[in-house]
């Protein structure tokens, strides 16, 4: 193990040519990640650069992407992990981390969900490089079908710094008297989605790009992760808002606890934030009416 090198040079992976939201025209995701590392003129830039190099060593075929208004992403037949930088932490979020064995106990954040797990790296923290590379290889194997999901090693949640206070979420959570299977249909079948949300060309396939269309305009979306009847996550971009919507279904004795979180509202997007709070309440009401009608 060693401490992140503050001046570590970037080690680019294979770049996706996906256009970058909010970027200069023609810039590749790898170039945008280079720029992000250069902008972070402190320990965070060195840490992100070192982590990037380790990902490249673990998986030379990893694709570098730039999503959700400035988040580095590494993919291999689906997202492996993201590299978010906040004021006090560099966060690596593994899209399917809950299905990865973690014998070295690297995961120390986002431990409560059924899909994602994260590693928070603070200033001065050491990086267990071999363990991190092993996690990356395991994530690749899981995405490519070369390994079955393994048990997640439970880790006690320690108090952590609030690193993303500037980003807000809208959360709606209700217990609904219907089975997860029925709710999953309403969340993933296009004709049912249209009844409670908007017209769409959704398909339940990771990385599928789709749009939600209303009389006022359209929302550009992309499927991020899917765990049938348990978790659905997709990006939600419209009019300068870059956010992620995540649905979580948990069976209960009376039906299903349905939780929706839309994350990504910046402090200068108060109008979007308030509109989403009102809008999702209305969408949930329509969703429950649809659920009452379908078999």
Q: Please identify which residue in the block is written with the tokens 């009416």.
A: 289
Is pLDDT of 241 > 60?
yes
Would you state the structure tokens that stand for residue 219, as one six-digit string?
Answer: 């929302």
**262 and 87 Cβ atoms separated by less than 8 Å:** no
Q: How confident is the model at residue 152 (pLDDT cuts 50, 70, 90)?
A: very low
- Domain coordinates in residue numbering, the chain: 14-144, 168-293
- Phi and psi at 167, nearest 5°, equal -105, 130
Q: What is the pLDDT of residue 154?
A: 32
Contact by Cβ (8 Å): 51, 5 = no
CATH code of 14-144, in short, is 3.90.1150
Separation of first and last alpha carbons in the chain: 56
Give the Cα separation of 286 and 197 in Å (integer): 8
- Which residue pairs from 102-111 have beta carbons closer than 8 angstroms and sit at least 24 positions apart in sequence? 102/135, 102/152, 102/153, 102/155, 103/131, 103/153, 104/128, 104/131, 104/134, 105/153, 105/155, 106/131, 106/132, 106/135, 107/152, 107/155, 108/155, 108/157, 108/158, 108/160, 109/160, 111/154, 111/155, 111/157
Phi, then psi, of 114 in degrees rounded to 5: -100, 0
41-60 mean pLDDT = 95
> What pLDDT is attached to residue 45?
94
pTM of the shown model: 0.49
Structural element, H or E, at residue 56: helix 43-58
- pLDDT tens digits, 282-293: 999 999 999 999
Tell which residue, 153, 130, 138, 131, has the closest CA to residue 96: 138
Q: How far apart are CA 232 and CA 194, in angstroms?
A: 17
Cβ–Cβ under 8 Å, residues 188 and 202? yes
Let me know if 85 is exposed, middle or buried by CB neighbors in 10 A (0-12, 13-18, 19+).
buried
The 10s digit of each residue's pLDDT in 162-206 is 334 478 899 999 999 999 999 999 999 999 999 999 999 999 999
Cα angle value 244/177/248 (rounded, 5°): 20
pLDDT at residue number 215: 82
- State the fold for domain 168-293: Alpha-D-Glucose-1,6-Bisphosphate; Chain A, domain 4 (3.30.530)
């Amino acid at each position: 193990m060693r401490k992140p090198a503050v001046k570590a040079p970037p080690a680019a992976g294979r770049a996706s040519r996906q256009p970058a939201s909010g970027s200069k025209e023609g810039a590749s995701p790898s170039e945008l990640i280079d720029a992000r590392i250069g902008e972070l003129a402190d320990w965070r830039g060195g840490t992100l650069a070192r982590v990037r190099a380790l990902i490249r060593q673990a998986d030379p075929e990893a694709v570098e992407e730039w999503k959700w208004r400035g988040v580095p992403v590494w993919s291999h037949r689906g997202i492996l992990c993201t590299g978010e930088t906040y004021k006090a932490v560099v966060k690596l979020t593994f899209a399917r981390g809950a299905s990865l064995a973690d014998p070295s106990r690297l995961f120390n954040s986002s431990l409560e969900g059924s899909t994602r797990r994260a590693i928070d790296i603070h200033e001065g923290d050491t990086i267990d490089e071999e363990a991190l590379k092993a996690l990356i290889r395991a994530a690749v194997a899981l995405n490519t079908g070369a390994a079955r999901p393994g048990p997640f090693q439970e880790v006690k949640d320690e108090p952590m710094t609030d690193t993303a206070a500037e980003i807000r979420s809208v959360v709606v959570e209700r217990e609904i008297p219907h089975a997860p299977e029925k709710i999953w249909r309403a969340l993933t079948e296009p004709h049912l989605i249209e009844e409670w949300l908007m017209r769409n060309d959704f398909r339940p396939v990771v990385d599928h790009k789709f749009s939600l269309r209303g009389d006022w305009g359209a929302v550009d979306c992309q499927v991020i992760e899917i765990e049938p009847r348990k978790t659905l996550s997709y990006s939600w971009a419209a009019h300068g808002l870059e956010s992620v919507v995540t649905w979580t279904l948990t069976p209960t004795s009376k039906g299903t606890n349905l939780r929706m979180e839309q994350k990504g509202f910046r402090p200068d997007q108060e109008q979007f934030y308030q509109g989403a709070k009102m809008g999702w309440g209305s969408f949930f009401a329509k969703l429950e009416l649809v659920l009452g009608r379908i078999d």
